[in-house]
Amino acid sequence: MTNKKFGTVIVFILGALNLLAADDSFVGSRSTQFTIDGHPFLFNGFNSYWLMNMAAGSEQDGTKVVDVLSEAAANGLTVCRTWAFADGGDRALQLSPGVYDEHVFQALDYVISEAKNHGIRLILSLVNNFKDFGGRAQYVKWAQQAGAAVNSKDDFYTNELVKQYYRNHIKRVLTRINSITQMTYKDDPTIMAWELINEPRCASDPSGRTVHAWVQEMANYTKSIDEKHLLEVGMEGFYGNSNQYNPPGFNQIGTDYIRTNLIKEIDFATIHAYPDLWLSGKSEEFQKAFMQQWTWNHLRAAKKILQKPLVFTEFGKSRKDPGFTETNRDTFLETIYDTIYNLARSSNGSLAGGLIWQLFAEGMDSYSDGYDIVLTQAPSIVNILSNHSYAMSELANAVN
């Protein structure tokens, strides 16, 4: 069989798998596995944080949502992580505390409805740690403008007014009635999970206790509104301030992977890995070895201590790295996908899938962060992704 024919057959099979997955069942979890209708759920997926932002723009911007979802679906990707926030600024969803732009909310409605049409489930993140699209800094600024005694963005985690603003956002999003499907977000099985915050950090409390207390409170609040959906924190995986497994220089992040993921209301653990940033200057081999060890360590804790599934929610390789070549990006991705596959198999689906950072549609160069990949322009990555999608779906049958 030529490669081309093999590719066509694979893409055909993957398309059929996606249609099969596009049902009305919620993703659940049982011990250390994700389930759909009682069967183990394993997947290959991606990040495209920008979907709502593009859908809120011009007609031409809006087409990028369907472009990326259909390219992803054709390659067997069934989970997408994206932002359900834009706090203040251009194309804001939340214009000011509790005030929402209906046009932008309709853009999010559209993203969810199109994800469903493409057989893709969503992980929706509710706020950013960083200042992009508002984030913690914007919430603290709003509280300051309202007269609260806040002065650092770490007050996000403790100030009562800021916490009230954030709880309002959770409630507003979860109880939104989709203007296209008429389904309330909290009842929509297209949504796989909510994420409390993208990459929480808190430099003023490296022990992780501040973030931990906030997660416990907000997890309770989220579950009080929505018991149907899974919930995760959004953590990168740093192990508090005294752990040999953190990369060098990453003991002051302010999160504690094991302690915080033990919270009962948190349904699964997450990790991110950017050895190109965290270990910059080290060799490719060293970075790959770190990434494998990082994944293995977190999976071992997820299975033995947390007794919850693990998702590798972000990884990628930047074109901005010194010495970057497409070949070393491809080998890095192949290594990651081999690691995910092998650990998913040896853990019986506890490591359930990975989400590459990140997929773009064509014509988005101005949004580039160096990690973006346009599948129509990256045939080697299409091969790697579709092969991995196929391998993960076969594995799901095997652990079934």
Ligand X SMILES: *[C@@H]1O[C@H](CO)[C@@H](O)[C@H](O)[C@H]1NC(C)=O
Binding site for ligand X (CB under 6 A): 33, 40, 216-217, 220, 264, 334, 337-338, 341, 348, 384, 387-388, 391, 399
Residue with tokens 């915050």: 197
Nearer Cβ to ligand X, position 190 or 387?
387
Minimal CA–CA distance to 395: which of 354, 341, 351? Answer: 341
Active-site residue, selected from the candidate residues 114, 199, 232, 236:
199
Give the residues across from 232 on adjacent strands: 195
What does 297-324 look like in DSSP terms, one character per residue?
Answer: HHHHHIIIII-S-EEEEEE---TTSTT-
Residue 134 or 200 having the CB closest to ligand X: 200
The least distance separating ligand X from the CB of residue 3, rounded to whole angstroms, comes to 9
Q: Which is nearer to ligand X, 23 or 394 (CB)?
A: 394
Q: How far is the CB of 147 from ligand X (least distance, A)?
A: 26
Contact 45, 336 (CB under 8 A): no
Q: Which is nearer to ligand X, 194 or 341 (CB)?
A: 341
d(CA 151, CA 149): 7
Interatomic CA distance for residues 189 and 174, integer angstroms: 12
Residue 183 or 310: the one with the smaller Cβ distance to ligand X is 310
- Residue 233 Cβ vs ligand X, minimum distance, rounded to whole Å: 14
CB of 117 or CB of 348, closer to ligand X: 348
The smaller minimum CB distance to ligand X, of residues 66 and 378, is found at 378
Known catalytic residue at 199 = yes
* Residue 314 annotated as catalytic: yes
Q: Three-class SS of residue 387?
A: helix
Buried-exposed string 113-142: b where 16+ CB fall within 10 A, e elsewhere:
bbbbebbbbbbbbbbbbeeebbbbbbbbbb
The Cα 254–Cα 235 span in angstroms is: 11
- Among 200, 274, 190, smallest CA distance to 233 is for 200
Contact 123, 79 (CB under 8 A): yes
Minimum CB–partner distance for residue 35 and ligand X (Å): 8
As a whole number of angstroms, the distance between CA 110 and CA 310 comes to 29
- Minimum distance, C-beta of residue 166 to ligand X, in the bound complex (Å): 14
- For the bound state, the minimum distance from the C-beta of residue 220 to ligand X, rounded and expressed in Å, comes to 4
CA distance 54 to 298: 34
Nearest-CA neighbor of 55 among 122, 113, 132, 97?
113
Task: Identify the active-site residue in 314, 326, 334, 362.
Answer: 314
Q: How far is the CB of 29 from ligand X (least distance, A)?
A: 11
DSSP string, 90-158: TT-SEEETTEE-HHHHHHHHHHHHHHHHTT-EEEEE--BSSSTTSHHHHHHHHHHHTT----SGGGGGT
Give the active site residues.
199, 314
